[in-house]
Amino acid sequence: MKNVTLHTLSTLKRDGKKFAVLTAYDACFAQLVSEAGVEVILVGDSLGMVLQGHDSTLPVTLDEMVYHTRSVANGNKGSMIMSDLPFMTYGTPAQAMASAAALMQAGAHIIKIEGGAWLAESISLLADRGVPVCAHLGLTPQAVNRLGGYRVQGRDRDSAKQMIEDAVRLEQAGASLLLLECVPSLLAGEISRAVDIPVIGIGAGPDTDAQVLVMHDILGISPGRTPRFVKNYMAEADDIRGAIQAYADEVHSGAFPTAKHGFE
């Protein structure tokens, strides 16, 4: 696969083609994911749960994200690497720039941050300084204590309107990508049409421009209850490589997700 860039992803959206995003946290899996044609590898702070055994992403540190980003960069074969800024490492624009610099120097091509319009100033400053940003709306796991748990967001008229406004505002500020987590499928489709930048969904229905899942979920090895937006690709695969390839193929073809993987 040729090196994936923001231009690549924008062209896919323009042409109505889907792209795939999958987490990875080390060099071996990064190579498998990129060789399967997954356009974007997410080095997610989800590592706090699937690797470290925490009950949330909050304990993950910036140093840990730098370590795993560097490991993924060492194994990557052409995918774009997107890395999360962890909890409370981007509370101010100055802090966001310092934290983003650490991840970019470790090998990230774009950073992801959770939050609404309050992030506009930080996103604008980062973009002006050459740091691409993916803005994360909907269920933002770092705010799980404020949200009262892992709940679908945007189900009422006011919150849906606010999410649309936030998406447009963050695009205007300079966000290069948008990620929607656990929002009603119809709302996700509306937001995807309201912005020009590519929109990635997880639990956001089939009408976003891309899909992301956690690698441990598609391999069926995550502990606890399986969210409805997850599909276990190991159930019908001969090996891990085949499961990752099946995920990428189904996202590209539009076979995943189906209506049953989304929310009303």
Give the model confidence (pLDDT) of 58-111 as tens digits: 999 999 999 999 999 999 999 999 999 999 999 999 999 999 999 999 999 999
pLDDT, position 6? 98
| Residue numbers annotated as active site | 181
pLDDT in tens, 152-207: 999 999 999 999 999 999 999 999 999 999 999 999 999 999 999 999 999 999 99
CA 171, 175, 179, 183 dihedral sign is negative
- What does residue 168 show for φ and ψ, rounded to 5 degrees? -65, -40
Is the N-terminal amide bond of 184 cis, ω within 30° of 0?
Answer: no
**Amino acid type, 184:** P
**Torsion of the alpha carbons at 137, 139, 142 and 144, rounded to the nearest 10:** 150
Q: For residue 98, which amino acid is it? A: A
* Strand pairing report for 110-114 and 133-138: parallel
Determine if residue 84 is labeled as part of a ligand binding site: yes
Work out the end-to-end distance of the chain between its first and last CA atoms, rounded to an integer number of angstroms: 36
pLDDT value, residue 180: 98
In this model, does residue 140 exceed pLDDT 80?
yes
Give me the percent of the chain exceeding a pLDDT of 70: 100
Helix (H), strand (E) at residue 22: strand 19-23
Buried b (16+ CB within 10 A) or exposed e, 182-208: bbbbebbbbbbeebebbbbbbbbbbbb
The annotation status of 45 as a binding-site residue, yes or no, is: yes
Residue 224: what pLDDT?
81
pLDDT tens digits along 222-259: 988 899 999 999 999 999 999 999 999 999 999 999 99
Helices (H) and strands (E) in the chain, counts: 11, 8
φ, ψ of residue 121 in degrees (nearest 5) = -65, -45
pLDDT at 37: 98
The pair of structure tokens assigned to 173 is 């500020």
Stated pTM of the model: 0.97
CA–CA distance, 62 with 69 (Å, rounded to integer): 10
CA distance 211 to 201: 5
Give the pLDDT of residue 225. 85
pLDDT exceeds cutoff 80 at 1: no
Residue 163 near residue 188, CB atoms below 8 Å: no
Question: What mean pLDDT, rounded, does the chain reach?
Answer: 97
114 carries a ligand binding annotation: yes
Question: And the tokens for 159?
Answer: 């919150």
- Give the model's pLDDT for residue 248: 98
C-beta of residue 25 within 8 angstroms of C-beta of residue 84: no
Q: Report residue 2's pLDDT band, with 50, 70 and 90 as the boundaries.
A: confident
Q: Residue 231 annotated as binding?
A: no
Q: How many CB atoms lie within 10 A of CB 235?
A: 11
